[in-house]
Each structure stands twice: as C-alpha cells, then as structure tokens.
A = this chain, B = another copy of it.
Amino acid sequence: MERFNWECKSSPLPLRAQVWIVGNRLELFMSQIIEPRVLKGFRDILPDQQHERQRVVRILEGTVESYGFVSIDTPILEYADVLLGKGGGETDKQVYRFADQGGRDVAMRFDLTVPFARFMAAHRHEIALPFRRYHVGKAFRGENPQRGRYREFMQCDFDIVGTDAVAADLEIVLLINSVFEAMGVGKVTIHVSHRGLFNALLSMLSVEDRIVDVLRTVDKLRKIGKEKVRSILTDLIGTEATDAVVRFITSTGDNATILSSLRSLVPAGTEHVDRLQRILEIAEAVDASERIRIDPAITRGLDYYTGIVFETFLDDLPEIGSVCSGGRYDNLASLYSKERMPGVGASVGMDRLMAALEELGVAGDHGSGADTLIVCLDEELAGTYQRIAKELRACGLRTEVYPEARKLAQQFAFAERRGIPTAVICGADEASAGKVNVREIATRESRDGLTVSESARVISELGGNGSA
C-alpha cells in the first residue's frame, strides 16, 4: 500500500487529496484541511520565547531552593467541589468546569493556592512543618483576554505553612527581593501592610460589615486615584469613616513616620504595627530594609488574608504593576480540614514578569540556537560528522548536525536564521587529515585546519550561546 499526497497549491478550497494504492485499486480521499487555530486567550510558545521562559524558571527555582523551598505538583484537573467549595462564588463563571467521561463534576485549576490547600489537608501527616513549598505550573481562567493576560497562564507560588512566626513573614519578603535580584531587574520595592490593622480600623469605625466592598475599593487606589476612592467610600460608609480610611491609606513619610501615624490612627492595632516594625528590624540586619516600604494602601482584594499583605514593584518599571503579591493567612486548608494551618506566601505571574524583563532589556541575551552547526558537505561523511559532534558535545557545546548535503549557502543561512554563531566545515580532505574549519557566520571569517578540540575552543570564543 502506498500513499500519495496531491498538493494542489492553487486550490482556493482548503482541501487535501490523497491517492492510496491499495493492492490493484486506487482510492482517492478528499478531506478538508483544518485551520490550525488556537483558542482565544491561549497561545503557542515559540523556541526563543520558551528558551527565555526556561531561563527565568530556572533562576526562580534556584533562588527559592536556596531558601530551602521544595517543589510539589498537583493535578490540573480536580473535582469541582474540591476546587470551588460547596457553593462557589464569583470566580465560578471563569472556571473551566465540565462532566468527565464518568459523569464526575470536574474543573481545571484556576490558581495554585486552592490545590495547595487541598494538598496540605491530604498529606498533612507525610509532611514536616513548617513546610516551605513552591509550585510552578499552569492555571486556567476563562476571563476576557487582555494585553498580557491569558486564559492559560503560568504562575510560581511559594509559601511557608505551619508557622505564625514573624520570621516567616520576613523570609518571604527577603526571598522576593532575592528572586528579583537574581533576575537582574534592578531594585524592587516591596509595599507591605497588615490586614489585621485594616480590620482593626474598620472595627473602630464600626463599618466592618462593609469590609468586602471597602477592600475592593481601596484596592483600586492606584488605578482610579484618591478622589474617586473617596467618593465611592463615602457612599459605602459615610463621610466620617471615609475620612479616617483615606487618612489611613494615604499616610506618607518614611517607614518610621508611617508606623507612628498608624499607631495613632488605630490604637487597637498596636500589635500589628509592632509586627511590621519587627519585620523592618530583621530586614535591617541583612541590609534589606530599604527594599521594604510600609504602604497602608495595600490590602489585596481577597478576604483570605489575615496578616501582612504585600505587592512588589520594580523601581525601573513601576507602571507594569505588582510583579509578586501575597500575604499571611490564618488558615490555609479550612475548607478541607479541622486542623488550623497558618502560613504566608507569594505568587509571581510569569507572563507579567517576562513582559517586564523584555521591557527592561534584561531578558536573556541569547536565542535558543545551538552553539555550533556541523554542515553537511557529503552525506557519505555522516559518521565523521557524528563523531565530531560527539566530541564537541563532550566539551559542553550544543552541537547541531545538518542532516543532508544542501548547498553551503543554504546551510549557512539556516545557521544565521537559527542564531547559531558558528559552523564547523569538514569535507573529505579535512576528514582524512582529522581536521575541521570553523566559520563565524556573522563575519564569514574562517579558521582552517583545526583539530576538533582546537575547534571547540574557537567555537566557545566566538560566542557559543552557552551550554544547556
């Protein structure tokens, strides 16, 4: 049986025809070509972009691991009631939820926090506390895609659970600082506040029953400005309470000044102000206190946080928004367990981070191209080319072998397009002399008559893209 594809390139219809020779019959199959489209809000990651993503993930992993964090993984698909709780709130409409083949009500994870809570409840007795975990993975939300926002997105979360200690709060803040230092994005400022303090303020003003709406409004301060926030708050909680809230969230000055204003604005919140102060003191010991800014306007929308909350801004690109946010919660796994599980954690949105690196010009220098290309002059020499490749790879050089004897100009053009800086050239004469020539693609200059190990040195000097 043989099969022939009939490629009618001028056909106005997206049709594919195949002629099969089946025994002594000819069979003609016509089928419609399917447009290779992807869903709105989803996307392919091409090699150079994926190379950069892997570079960034490796830096992230290396940094969080240096703090003793360990990685876990959880399923992308879970029981819907486990992810959403018995009821399920506003998020629901965005969740990819369906009945599977067995009729189970299932959903794709929409963040890494809920699966982590479920994980901790399930594996509590296999895990020593305090537990530092990180998780790099995809999550899915069917929200309307915007610039830089996708329905399939990648996150990196890290948390310390099983401790109420202030040292854990501080450590998450230090780790965030270390992560962005390792990325080479310049300085960051981590804006820190305390949700307990905010709650105490609302309690003092007797408006704690409007907390959800007030939080949601204050969270928009950066976006809509002080006056807009004041006007919405006034409708919600009246002029007097609004004045106090606005005074609270717009406290200015250095950290010490803000802390002392907060002390006087919310006398019932002393312990929370003390905690913020202690975080600054410990940070001072590792010269990191300048990276922390007490900012009472930070509340994080979620009702979930109970202790410190924070957002991270790049000093050189603050307008991109927070690149890493989180806070302390009193009880991670309350949905699944009667056991209390306090913790503190943060989340990095990979897409925004990658966009920031790009915009700051600190994305990786190199594309995904190999360090060198062994061109093919003669297919009979395939064994020689593989032998050279083996030797270069042993020197740590990523080595691609061109598989067929095309015109040299075509093979050099291929190297150029792939961003491969050098080519190794070996014809029958060189092969019998045990020598090769190395050509720099950009300059077209050539170093001839080298041994393979000499060529490895030249390839490295001419800017290999760096070993894998």
**Could you tell me which A residues sit within 8 Å of B by CB distance?**
1-3, 5, 7-9, 11, 16, 18, 22-23, 31-40, 42-47, 50-51, 53-54, 61-62, 65-68, 70-79, 81-82, 85-86, 93-94, 96, 98-102, 104, 106, 108, 118-119, 121-123, 126-130, 132-133, 138, 140, 142, 152, 160, 163-168, 170-171, 174, 178, 199, 202-203, 206, 208-209, 211, 281-282, 284-286, 330-331, 333-340, 368-370, 373, 376, 379, 382-387, 389-390, 393, 397-404, 414, 417-418, 420, 467-468
Contacts and interface: CB of A to CB of B under 8 A. Distances in A.
Q: Chain A binding site: helix, strand, loop or mixed by DSSP?
A: mixed
Contacts of A9: 338
Given A36-B337, A171-B401, A202-B1, A45 B73 contact: yes
Contacts of A286: 383, 386-387, 390
Q: How many copies does the complex hold?
A: 2
B166 A208 contact: no
Nearest to A340: B5
A67 B1 contact: no
B71 A170 contact: no
A142 B102 CA distance: 9
Which 9 pairs show the lowest CB-CB distances between chains A and B? A285-B383, A68-B400, A98-B98, A65-B468, A68-B370, A165-B403, A42-B75, A45-B73, A47-B70
A244 B306 CA distance: 75
A201 to B, nearest CB: 11
Contacts of A336: 33-36
Contacts of A54: 61, 71
A72 B50 contact: yes
Nearest to A94: B101
A77 B163 contact: no
